[in-house]
Amino acid sequence: MSNAYKDHLGRPIVAVTGMGVITSLGQGLADNWAALTGGVSGIRKITRFPTEGLNTRISGMVDFIEVPAANSVERSYAMARETTLEALAQAGISGDFNGPLFLAAPPIEPEWSARFELADRSPPSSQPGDAYNRFLTAMREKADPAFHEAVLFGAISERLADRFGTRGLPVTLSTACASGATAIQLGVEAIRQGRTDRALTVATDGSVSAEALIRFALLSALSTQNDPPEKASKPFTKDRDGFVIAEGAATLVLESLEAAVARGARVYGILKGCGEKADLFHRTRSSPDGGPAIATIRAALADAGIDEGGIGYINAHGTSTPENDKMEYLSMSAVFGEHLPSIPVSSNKSMIGHTLTAAGAVEAVFSIQTMLTGTLPPTINYLNPDPAIVLDVVPNVKRSQQVSAVLSNSFGFGGQNASLVMTAEPD
């Protein structure tokens, strides 16, 4: 391999040759980018299920993709399928993909309708607390292949692998809000290690349900500023009160630069560096001193061979929770120091909400678009700045500014942190 196709550590350079995305803003890269840079919000009142009596009644749901059954598996698969079709078309790849698949997918569990059906099939019992045993009995007495597939964690990736002809066993992962970035990292590592010339990296999450909403609400993680919905997500402001749960998906086609050039593919960006670190502080809270996030960002920069002054834009995790935004600011301050005031930092989540498992990949696509178009997406709803967070958040209106290197952060529940560095050019 020529040195022109190797990075600073002698590894194959990883190129992005295709992208696809779906969020509450719409389907496809063109529509999403137009809305995102236009400062449009995809947050709406929830109509999928009753919300009476709930403190949070808003979400960034995707209800415009047809699915055969109204459950999270079918929604997540449908979005992943559509974003992959878009990405492969952009990459100019038809037929079997012939590379590994790395999928970030939400945890799988039965919808309540399926649980009630199982309860009806279960033998009667007057013994309290034996619901799980009755569930197992019902499953053993009557085989239900469709239900079995619906609750398999790998069901979505198996269907994608069959549809697009990927090679080897598909990998399904879930690292909370860092999942999308982790899927990309696995694809990058597979190419760097010489195990493949191309990888299909997909992240999807269609799991907005009443139960999910209630769970996050019990963690005090969600915004309760329901009216108007589009004003609820307001990262880095003084009156932020939680994130807005949302759905979405993104696919990135990764190839070694050498393979991409050899087949005449257009290169949209370079996956230059990946960093990940664990946080042992708490199951849902981030370490207040930002130590793990600091280490994650520094690891990504080191992996990319870029110093603090080389980053032109940061796509923040920016969830709009009081604790996370403060922690992320402290982390960026520690890493970038005197450079930070001159680096634009904005949050896509101010418009699309938090797409959870899909977020890292969705925001990676938008980060590459930022470099391609010379347009920085704004942080909308930035009307009451937090005086303790001094950042150039590209407030409320997009900005024309050419950047050649972007950092994208994903800091998840369970202490799972990942950062990606993307560049416009290999060098």
Amino acid 365: pLDDT: 99
Report cis status (omega within 30 of 0) of the bond before 228.
yes
Concerning whether 339 is annotated as a catalytic residue, the answer is no
Contacts of 138 (CB under 8 A, 6+ apart): 118, 119, 121, 122, 123
Domain match, 131 and 244 both: no
Do 179 and 104 meet the contact criterion of CB atoms below 8 Å apart?
Answer: yes
110-126 b/e (C-beta count within 10 Å ≥ 16 → b): bbeebeeebeeebeeee
Domain match, 244 and 310 both: yes
Nearest one of 327, 235, 343 to 281, comparing CA atoms = 327
Helix orientation angle between 291-304 and 322-336, rounded to the nearest 10 degrees: 50
Amino acid 125: pLDDT: 65
The span from the CA of 297 to the CA of 420, in Å, is: 8
Q: Choosing from 274, 282, 317, 339, which is the catalytic residue?
A: 317
Domain match, 179 and 73 both: yes
Domain match, 180 and 289 both: yes
Domain match, 348 and 368 both: yes
SS3 for 162?
A: helix
Do 256 and 404 meet the contact criterion of CB atoms below 8 Å apart?
Answer: no
Concerning whether 354 is annotated as a catalytic residue, the answer is yes
Domain match, 116 and 234 both: no
Amino acid 133: pLDDT: 76
How is residue 340 written in tokens? 């930070």
How is residue 336 written in tokens? 């970038």
Domain containing 24 equals 3-109+152-423
CATH number at residue 366: 3.40.47.10
Concerning whether 177 is annotated as a catalytic residue, the answer is yes
Domain match, 61 and 121 both: no
Domain boundary among 93, 124, 150: 150
Domain match, 79 and 102 both: yes
Mean pLDDT by 10 residues, the chain (427 residues): 91 99 98 99 97 96 92 94 99 97 88 70 66 73 70 89 97 95 98 98 96 92 98 99 98 99 98 93 76 96 97 98 95 97 98 98 99 99 98 99 98 90 95
Amino acid 413: pLDDT: 80
Domain match, 319 and 264 both: yes
Question: CA–CA distance from 50 to each of 63, 114, 352, 407, 422 (Å)?
Answer: 15, 18, 22, 39, 41
How distant is the alpha carbon of residue 150 from its chain centre?
Answer: 22
Query: What is the residue-wise DSSP string for 246-305?
Result: B-EEEEEEEEEHHHHHHTTPPP-EEEEEEEEEE--S-SSSPPTT-HHHHHHHHHHHHHHT
Q: Choosing from 8, 148, 177, 274, which is the catalytic residue?
A: 177
Q: Name the domain count of the chain.
A: 2
Q: Choosing from 148, 274, 282, 354, which is the catalytic residue?
A: 354
The span from the CA of 341 to the CA of 358, in Å, is: 29
